[in-house]
Structure 1
Amino acid sequence: MQKMIAASDYWNPEQCAMEKAERSQSDLLVSHLLFNNTPQSLFETVHKSPCGNYFCVANARLDNRDELLHELAISSADDLADGALILTAYQHWGEGCSAKLLGDFVFTIWDGPNQLIYIGRDHIGIKTVFYSVTDSVVLVSNEHNALLSSGLVPRALSHDFVVDQFLPRSQSGYYSPIEAIKRVEPAHYVVIDAEGVRQQRYWQLEVKHYAGLTTDEDYLRELRAQFERAVQRRLVTQHPIGCELSEGLDSTAITGLTAKLLPEQTIYTYSYDSQQLTDDNRHIYAATYKDIFDFLALHTNLEAQWSTHPPPENYQEIATGFYGILPPNPGQQVTRYYLMQEKGVRTLLSGWGGDHCVTSYGSFYEDELFKRGRWVKLYKQLHDMRSRGRGTRPLASFLKLSVKYLCPPLFRVIERRRNALVRLLTFAAENAPLRNGLVSPERLKKSRDYADSYTCRGVRERDYRELFYVGTESRVTGSEVHARAFNFEYRYPMFDKELIEFAYSVPNHLKCKFGIERWMFREIIKDLVTERIRMRMKSDVDLPKYDRLDLSARFKKTIDEVLQRKHEPLLREYIESERLEELTKITFVGNLRALDTLLQLSTSEQLGHIQFEKRNTNNSV
């Protein structure tokens, strides 16, 4: 336990509590490291039931405390930590307790009477937890490196992890590169007892009916109320608040609403690399910052934070030390993290993930109209989309829909050639540079099927895919790993469970009305953002004009490094050098990331951080 605790030294926890179960039939040690960000978090510790038979540790921010207190008949709660409330909920509802919670949370409970460990994780996977079960011990931690640091977990590399880097797959949730380390999936709980390990889903995103909402205006009012509630829930902190601020729709709306909800408080904003605009970098940031400056002028309590220091180039290596092995990619620049430390910010609101569902583009609404035979409405929708600069001529779009639903095999052939993303996914599925025998025929077929099914048949099908199948969990896991190193937490209003359920359930025509994608969200934020930001298309966004190598040059550089290092055991085990040339025919960024990942894993293997066994590859594919 001391070794596991030491793995968290890098984020300087404010307190460490440890308990040993005296009445347990097994040796049981439980510890909690304090991160203080809410009034209730000050009372977090290892929570023990009065009878001494139950223990709970939690990394949680509960949004429905009042409802839980009422249902559990708890009157005094000012000094009641969320972890203690979760323990009471478990004692009351047992395995059903996770479904009763709302917010961002992971927690672990030792149930002495039933001799089991119960681990719960929030609906979207904002908080992260890992566990490992060996012949002699069960280890659970939200610090991946804690499990490795214990010395009790085998460091064998997961073969599936390597293969999954190269092949498209429908379940893209993050999991550990280490075979012996597992994660609890979002919206699941895990029970570990003498019978083994059992994982159970407790929530599924489904269409819900909302009584009293009959008109478009009703739905818009409710969406605004749900959006405000989602942001308000994430403002609970005793420290300064920051907002990630691109010039996109989601981040500006969240930042603008935060400024309105806290008019007397300074809200700090962090944009891209957070580089101060100078004559030297004006060619990179000028157009991007103009939209940001125009937005900042709307709210007097917003204070942008800028740096004159470039982002550190080796931070990925530093994060690898925190994680114990290759960490998941956070997708953000770390310059802002140093700026946040200067202001004492411990809550960073992010608009990431909004267009996955809440601010959905309404893509494939035309498919629904076609399948229902709403020809006049379909023509108007296609015409309006074309007028906005989205899509082709109505007749061409209608012919495409006809082929899609009347001759699916022909449609798949056309998509593989003409749809850029489907073409890339198909190419990745069929041209992985892996040695023969490493990919089973079943796995290869699943990859091909996933590429073929990427073109959806309705709005909700697309939104569900974006939420759960294209890497949301990996992104938030990476963000949490990096945030912990700087003593703050990400909060995502667009991943509010109730807001997602509502947005998923609204009539689909509201998501792309008059041919305007994300229409319903644009309507409810008129008072929060500039009109240009509110109504422009994503293609009109002026992104920073970084001076970077083009994708082809990056591919060549990476492939050259793989070839130079092909003698290394891990690369020799997995890569067929002759197949690398195939990857240059279509420069797919997914293949580039896969090669980068494999190079980093090979470095870890050279340093002794991981081990791998040569596999029997008699079956040729």
Structure 2
Amino acid sequence: MSAIAGLSQPVDKRVERSDVARMLDRLTHCGPDGFGIWCEGHVGLGHRMLHTTPESVRERLPLSIPEAALAITCDARIDNRGELIQACGLAGPEGDIADSELILAAYQRWGESCVEKLLGDFSFAIWDGRKRQLLCARDHLGIKPLFYYHSGGFFAFATEIKALFSIPQVPRSLNETRIAHHLIGFFEDRATTFFDGILRLPPAHTLTVRPDGLQMRQYWQADPTVEIRRSSDAEYAEEFRAIFAEAVHCRLRSVAPVGALVSGGLDSSSIACMARNQLQAEGRSGALHTFSALFSEFPESDERSYINAVIQGGGFIPHFFDGDTANPLTDHATVLGELDEVFHGADLTLMRMFYAGASQQGVRVMLDGLGGDEMVSHGARHLEELLRAGNWHEFGQQASGLARDAAHDRESVLREFLQPYFLELKQQRKWWTLSKALLEIPRQVNESIPGFVGDYALRPLVHKWKRRLLRGAPGGHGSASAPDSILADDFAQSIGLQERSLRARNSDAARGRSAREAHCHAINSGRLWLAIEELARVAAPYGVEPRYPQLDKRLVEFSVALPLSQKLSQGRSRAVFRRAMNQVLPEEVRWRAGKAKFLSPFAETLRRYGREFLDATILDTPPALARYFNLPALRQKYQRFLEGADSEAAPVWRASNLIWWLQGLERALPTAKQSSEARQTQATAV
């Protein structure tokens, strides 16, 4: 990705070019192909360029139109170029018109509402000298990051936090609420960062900066009230395929070779095969590089049979990497410096290997299936609606089919949906419905009534009563959800975590009441946009731009509006997607059940390579940092992890990363540079 930065001072103070230059110096890794600075009075804009699209090669940013008193800096790929060129009356060959010109022309035509006319991935800032305002915007799904700081009449923004820290007015004080959220695995705060006062602009939002303050506006969200109706399964699949094909095609626009991650899953395989077909149709046969990890030591994680089925279709330049030896601690301090914040992803080492390999091949664009699960819902929430509607026969059939499709045991699928349903009936005092359900549903799922009632009705009640008792016990304050939480009780209470977390969780539950609302909520998941931001920063030093066809606004809107029967059909999850990929995907991939599990390789390599690091952070936690942690609980989890409990890998990893990051904060923040020699060593292929 390219990078942007800028400043707005009080009107009586000038922004010097050196101020913007300092910010751009921190973003060198994002833009090896040039930089630009524009300053006028109390406003300054900056840009670091990575050439990815053909139009970007001739693009010079920031772009200004003096006669209109406008200037723009942006990191953007606009997909509806022809439509905008026509609507804005732009003249000349389409290939000569840069995406920044399109955005600025759209602003001149529609003002701040221009964002509603744009398709693609973008973050931008437009200075309007006549209105004396700065408009910042981020794309619909948050693919392009944007961070900012505001105090009084001072405002600064940048693609990465490290650029903000080049400005003396920006403080580096920690946001302890964010620290607590990190430790308990709560990611739904979409605005704050690990630093007080430094905020992220959420996806699908604009931020207007005026002398009298800031105004934020959400300009788009997926609408859970819309439902489309077509005449047949085939018609749904045909329309889905057309939109998906366009989403992939838009993201193939590149001045350099294109790569695709191929894990063997439904999403990455579909993207790679569709991209291959489109490149072949354009006369670029064999032009798509693929990047895959193999796990010889972990059969449950090894997808080579599915990967090979895709690659054997031809038209690819495949590259394979050894996932068994992906050390999570490789260049750990460097990664923390690149990310600015504590990272959550377990597989960033693999991703860095892929990006390093791509860089060696001259690949600048990497197609990725991230977001596919959220975009094309698995449809499991349909089971909840069947229960509430009293359609218990259909529930039994779909639940059994889903268990087969997801490669789960039937008991776990039934437990996931029946236990909350019975608790809900009890809380609502629907005794007649409850008694009827306890007699009828066992017949539909081939269970004995006594065993069924014990497993799915009585057991959750007992667990609920136990949790109530534990709330009164030491460590059971509720804010961290369990007495063995790794979060220190006193620390949680000192920042009021219980109130904040419960309020946020209640809000999330309200948004997810219906299946379609839950689908919209998944698309807005904090975990998803955190992963997008982390991958953008990890890829930047390698000169690679990740692109996500599944996170196309048109595809998201269509998928949300689908009837539930197109998301879950005869127990098959993501039914419409599978039908749409007929004659695109190999059949064994199109109808595969379940997904690979990547927790075991991560946990084992962490145990194999990380013992010294984990001992130093968890067993010898510095006293100054110990106040954040329930150390006995953390060390118990660590011991269980060392003994083979992979489920403890996530809390152990979160805690150790936080401790390491806090210890090295001053060292990690000033730069994200990494020697090219070090990067090349990560690209060793199998």
Q: TM-score, normalised by structure 2?
A: 0.77
**1:2/1:327 Cα in 2 relative to 1: closer, same or farther (>3 Å)?**
farther
Residue 510 of structure 2 corresponds to residue 494 of structure 1: no
**1:482-523 deviations in whole A, cap 9, x for unaligned?**
111111200000000110110110100111101111222111
In the alignment, which residue of structure 1 is the partner of 2:78? Answer: 62
**1:305/1:328 Cα in 2 relative to 1: closer, same or farther (>3 Å)?**
same
Q: Distance in 2 between matches of 1:476 and 1:134?
A: 28
**1:262-313 deviations in whole A, cap 9, x for unaligned?**
11332110012xx7xxxxx844579532321222111x21111135896574
Decide whether the 8 Å contact of 2:423 with 2:461 is kept in 1. Answer: no
**1:128/1:241 Cα in 2 relative to 1: closer, same or farther (>3 Å)?**
same
Counterparts in 2 of 1:192-341, with a 5 A limit? 192-207=209-224, 213-263=230-280, 264-265=284-285, 266-272=287-293, 282-284=296-298, 287-298=302-313, 300-306=314-320, 313-324=329-340, 326=342, 329=345, 331-332=347-348, 333=350, 334-341=352-359
Q: Distance in 1 between matches of 2:392 and 2:341?
A: 55
Decide whether the 8 Å contact of 2:37 with 2:46 is kept in 1. Answer: yes
Q: Distance in 2 between matches of 1:416 and 1:445?
A: 25
Q: Distance in 2 between matches of 1:487 and 1:544?
A: 28
Q: Distance in 2 between matches of 1:450 and 1:557?
A: 37
Q: Distance in 2 between matches of 1:475 and 1:192?
A: 28
Residue 460 of structure 2 corresponds to residue 414 of structure 1: yes
1:594 aligns with one of 654, 660, 664: 654
Q: Distance in 2 between matches of 1:608 and 1:486?
A: 19
**1:21-68 deviations in whole A, cap 9, x for unaligned?**
1xx4xx222222221111221214111124152110000001111222
**1:437/1:402 Cα in 2 relative to 1: closer, same or farther (>3 Å)?**
closer
Q: Distance in 2 between matches of 1:379 and 1:356?
A: 24
Residue 535 of structure 2 corresponds to residue 521 of structure 1: no
Greater fraction helix: 2
Q: Distance in 2 between matches of 1:386 and 1:118?
A: 49
In the alignment, which residue of structure 1 is the partner of 2:438? Answer: none
Q: What is the CA distance between 1:3 and its match in structure 2?
A: 1.5
Higher deviation after alignment, 107-116 or 242-251: 107-116
Decide whether the 8 Å contact of 1:155 with 1:178 is kept in 2. Answer: yes
Q: What is the CA distance between 1:139 and its match in structure 2?
A: 1.6
Figure out how many residues of one structure are paired with residues of the other and give that number: 591
Q: Distance in 2 between matches of 1:382 and 1:174?
A: 37
Q: Distance in 1 between matches of 2:495 and 2:337?
A: 36
Q: Distance in 2 between matches of 1:548 and 1:384?
A: 31
Q: Distance in 2 between matches of 1:488 and 1:499?
A: 24
1:481 counterpart SS class? helix
Higher deviation after alignment, 496-505 or 588-597: 588-597
In the alignment, which residue of structure 2 is the partner of 1:459? Answer: 515
2:493 counterpart SS class? coil
Counterparts in 2 of 1:341-352, with a 5 A limit? 341-352=359-370
**1:121/1:328 Cα in 2 relative to 1: closer, same or farther (>3 Å)?**
farther
1:184 aligns with one of 193, 196, 201: 201
Q: What is the CA distance between 1:344 and its match in structure 2?
A: 0.8
In the alignment, which residue of structure 2 is the partner of 1:145? Answer: 162
Q: Distance in 1 between matches of 2:209 and 2:462?
A: 44
In the alignment, which residue of structure 2 is the partner of 1:96? Answer: 113
2:71 counterpart SS class? strand
Please tell me the residue identity of whatever aligns with 1:594. R
2:67 counterpart SS class? coil
Decide whether the 8 Å contact of 1:368 with 1:457 is kept in 2. Answer: no
1:3 aligns with one of 18, 22, 45: 22
**1:406/1:294 Cα in 2 relative to 1: closer, same or farther (>3 Å)?**
same
Counterparts in 2 of 1:13-24, with a 5 A limit? 13-21=32-40, 24=41
**1:142/1:508 Cα in 2 relative to 1: closer, same or farther (>3 Å)?**
same
Q: Distance in 2 between matches of 1:608 and 1:520?
A: 46
Q: Distance in 1 between matches of 2:599 and 2:387?
A: 39
Q: What is the CA distance between 1:525 and its match in structure 2?
A: 1.2
Decide whether the 8 Å contact of 2:261 with 2:291 is kept in 1. Answer: yes
2:96 counterpart SS class? coil
**1:461/1:157 Cα in 2 relative to 1: closer, same or farther (>3 Å)?**
same
Q: Distance in 2 between matches of 1:194 and 1:544?
A: 50
In the alignment, which residue of structure 2 is the partner of 1:503? Answer: 559
Q: Distance in 2 between matches of 1:352 and 1:199?
A: 28
**1:488/1:174 Cα in 2 relative to 1: closer, same or farther (>3 Å)?**
farther
Q: What is the CA distance between 1:228 and its match in structure 2?
A: 0.7
Q: Distance in 2 between matches of 1:399 and 1:567?
A: 45
Q: Distance in 2 between matches of 1:287 and 1:144?
A: 36
Q: What is the CA distance between 1:536 and its match in structure 2?
A: 2.1
Decide whether the 8 Å contact of 2:337 with 2:669 is kept in 1. Answer: no
**1:81-132 deviations in whole A, cap 9, x for unaligned?**
1112212222222221212211100001112122221100001110011112
Q: What is the CA distance between 1:174 and its match in structure 2?
A: 7.0
Please tell me the residue identity of whatever aligns with 1:342. Q
Counterparts in 2 of 1:605-620, with a 5 A limit? 605=665, 607=667
Any stretches of 5+ residues in structure 2 without a counterpart?
Answer: 1-19, 430-456, 465-469, 471-477, 671-686
Q: Distance in 2 between matches of 1:16 and 1:321?
A: 22
Q: What is the CA distance between 1:2 and its match in structure 2?
A: 2.0
Please tell me the residue identity of whatever aligns with 1:600. W
Q: Distance in 1 between matches of 2:572 and 2:270?
A: 18
Counterparts in 2 of 1:440-589, with a 5 A limit? 443-445=497-499, 447=501, 457-538=513-594, 541=596, 546=601, 548-549=603-604, 560-562=615-617, 564-569=619-624, 571-580=625-634, 583=637, 588-589=648-649
**1:172/1:289 Cα in 2 relative to 1: closer, same or farther (>3 Å)?**
farther
Q: Distance in 1 between matches of 2:226 and 2:418?
A: 34
Q: Distance in 2 between matches of 1:416 and 1:38?
A: 59
Decide whether the 8 Å contact of 1:364 with 1:457 is kept in 2. Answer: no
Residue 43 of structure 2 corresponds to residue 28 of structure 1: yes
Decide whether the 8 Å contact of 2:28 with 2:48 is kept in 1. Answer: no
Decide whether the 8 Å contact of 1:187 with 1:201 is kept in 2. Answer: yes
2:115 counterpart SS class? helix
The CA RMSD measured in Å over matched residues stands at 3.7
**1:161/1:545 Cα in 2 relative to 1: closer, same or farther (>3 Å)?**
closer
Counterparts in 2 of 1:120-159, with a 5 A limit? 120-135=137-152, 137-159=154-176
Q: What is the CA distance between 1:400 and its match in structure 2?
A: 4.3
Q: What is the CA distance between 1:4 and its match in structure 2?
A: 1.3
Q: What is the CA distance between 1:546 and its match in structure 2?
A: 3.4
Decide whether the 8 Å contact of 2:228 with 2:561 is kept in 1. Answer: no
Q: What is the CA distance between 1:466 and its match in structure 2?
A: 2.2
Higher deviation after alignment, 557-566 or 60-69: 557-566
Q: Distance in 2 between matches of 1:267 and 1:72?
A: 34
**1:136-165 deviations in whole A, cap 9, x for unaligned?**
632221132111123332111112221211
Decide whether the 8 Å contact of 1:208 with 1:501 is kept in 2. Answer: no
Counterparts in 2 of 1:425-436, with a 5 A limit? 428-430=480-482, 431-436=485-490
Q: Distance in 2 between matches of 1:415 and 1:9?
A: 57
Decide whether the 8 Å contact of 1:356 with 1:463 is kept in 2. Answer: yes
Higher deviation after alignment, 394-403 or 328-337: 394-403
Decide whether the 8 Å contact of 2:382 with 2:568 is kept in 1. Answer: yes
Q: Distance in 2 between matches of 1:522 and 1:97?
A: 35
Q: Distance in 2 between matches of 1:475 and 1:416?
A: 36
Please tell me the residue identity of whatever aligns with 1:304. P
Q: TM-score, normalised by structure 1?
A: 0.84
**1:193/1:412 Cα in 2 relative to 1: closer, same or farther (>3 Å)?**
farther
Q: Distance in 1 between matches of 2:415 and 2:524?
A: 31
